[in-house]
Structure 1
Amino acid sequence: MPKLIAECKEDKELLDSLCPNELARFEEWFHELNRINAIADRVYYNGENLESSTGIKCWFDFFVNGNSPKDALDEDYQAAIS
Structure 2
Amino acid sequence: MWLIWTIIIGFVVGLIAKFLMPGPNEPRGFILTTVLGIVGALVATWLGQGIGWYGPGESAGFIGGVVGAVILLAVWGFISSSRNG
The alignment's TM-score, normalised by the length of structure 2, stands at: 0.41
Higher Cα radius of gyration:
2
Higher helix proportion (structure 1 or 2): 2
